[in-house]
Amino acid sequence: MIKTLRNGLLTGLMALGIASGPASAADVTLRFAHFWPSVAGMHKNLFQVWADTVMKDSGGRIKVEIYPSATLAKPPAQYDAVKNRIADITATVLGYTANRFPLSQVVELPGLVKNAAHGSCILQGLYDEGLIKSEFKDTHPLFLFTHGQGHIHTAKTLIKSPKDFAGLRIRRPTTVVATLLEKLGAKPVGMPAPASYQSMQRGVIDGVALPWEGQIAFRLNDLATKHTEVGGLYTLAFVITMNKDVYKGLPADLKAVIDKASGKVWSAKAAKVFDDTDVKGRAQAVKAGHEIYTVEGGIENPAWKPVLTEATASYIKQLDGKGLPGDKVYAQAKALAASCQ
């Protein structure tokens, strides 16, 4: 009798649509692709948080499925993946697609960026002011950001001055950083960050150019035990961007949810994850007893400054030679560097 009553009650509740069970399906499911491993801070503390925020703010109408570890597209193909709708959203390094974002990559040059919060403010500012928007015409950018200061991490040779780079094969993330390394005397080897561990393990490269965050995210502290910090050496520019047609196809209220999860506020959130993880990456190396050499004065050090100044001038000249407003964008980046404190 009790069982029959219970079954009858459940049937009635189901008929009313208020019985416990799975929630109704989302109106929109967005595929979000990136190349970090799922254990990385960027995945757990930024991308997943963003996805959860969008789902909550949309009342469950937007679901975000995250594909880490380059499962939908290899790192150099991430931007085209969102353009061609292999993914709906991607997070990628601008310089992984060479020659596509030359003005945006001005932020990678020496001496501009103090940390991720500072660099992200500069880069997002350049975009918001319209100086680099034309480089993103194929997609709908949500927010731009940078990592903190990049350093040099090696397996055997501790680099104390530019002459120590001679003959060393150093992983470089972008062509901008490649130019810096070449001027310093290294042999740059192009590859995305996820490929660095295996390449160093096999002896294909002698070291990497990465922030401390990358040393944790890609387990490079296991192999590179000698670290050189040259304050202001370089940074990298990133974007989280969305397929234009997917964005345009959203109803107005869901567009508003995406818009709210975009811009300066989220650029700053991304920067905080990078800056926090930089601290952890360095602490991990210290605890493990690694050698860390900090160049006195950073890029202003007399042994380093002439080389890096030349590399910067060379890059701006290349931009101007292509008919791009390199001087204008660089000047505004420096102005933003002064105001983004």
On the question of pLDDT at 298 being above 80, the answer is yes
Mean pLDDT computed over 142-158: 98
The span from the CA of 37 to the CA of 34, in Å, is 9
Q: What is the pLDDT of residue 6?
A: 40
Mean pLDDT computed over 176-203: 96
Cα distances from 235 to residues 26, 157, 252, in angstroms, run: 38, 22, 36
**Nearest alpha carbon to residue 94 among 110, 111, 106:** 106
Same fold, 26-148+236-277 and 151-234+288-339: yes
**Nearest alpha carbon to residue 144 among 191, 91, 66, 186:** 91
**Nearest alpha carbon to residue 176 among 106, 123, 228:** 106
Question: Within its chain, how far is the Cα of 66 from the centroid?
Answer: 16
Burial class (CB in 10 A: 0-12, 13-18, 19+), 20: exposed
Mean pLDDT computed over 161-169: 97
Mean pLDDT computed over 296-319: 96
Model confidence pLDDT, tens digit, residues 208-245: 999 999 999 999 999 999 999 999 999 999 999 999 99
Percent of the chain at pLDDT above 90?
A: 91
pLDDT band at 1; cut points 50, 70, 90:
very low
Cα distances from 238 to residues 66, 123, 151, 302, in angstroms, run: 17, 9, 17, 31
Q: How many CA atoms lie within 13 A of 208 on its CB side?
A: 29
Q: Which CATH number fits domain 151-234+288-339: 3.20.20.10, 3.50.30.10, 3.40.190.170, 3.40.50.720?
A: 3.40.190.170
Q: What is the pLDDT of residue 189?
A: 98
Residue with tokens 């989220």: 266
Cα distances from 154 to residues 84, 163, 226, in angstroms, run: 37, 15, 5
Mean pLDDT computed over 175-184: 95
Q: What is the pLDDT of residue 26?
A: 82
Residue with tokens 């990385």: 40
On the question of pLDDT at 292 being above 50, the answer is yes
Query: How much is the mean pLDDT over the chain?
Result: 93
Class (C level, CATH) for 26-148+236-277 = alpha beta
Map out the domains of the chain as residue ranges. 26-148+236-277, 151-234+288-339
On the question of pLDDT at 10 being above 80, the answer is no
Strand 28-33, strand 89-93: pairing: parallel
On the question of pLDDT at 117 being above 80, the answer is yes
Q: What is the pLDDT of residue 93?
A: 97
Q: What is the pLDDT of residue 8?
A: 43
Q: What is the pLDDT of residue 341?
A: 78
Model confidence pLDDT, tens digit, residues 257-268: 999 999 999 999
On the question of pLDDT at 13 being above 60, the answer is no
pLDDT band at 98; cut points 50, 70, 90:
confident
Mean pLDDT computed over 315-320: 95
Model confidence pLDDT, tens digit, residues 27-54: 999 999 999 999 999 999 999 999 999 9
On the question of pLDDT at 110 being above 80, the answer is yes
Q: How many CA atoms lie within 13 A of 235 on its CB side?
A: 30
* 175 phi and psi angles, rounded to 5 deg: -70, -30
The span from the CA of 300 to the CA of 297, in Å, is 5
Cα distances from 323 to residues 36, 209, 320, in angstroms, run: 35, 30, 5
Q: What is the pLDDT of residue 27?
A: 94
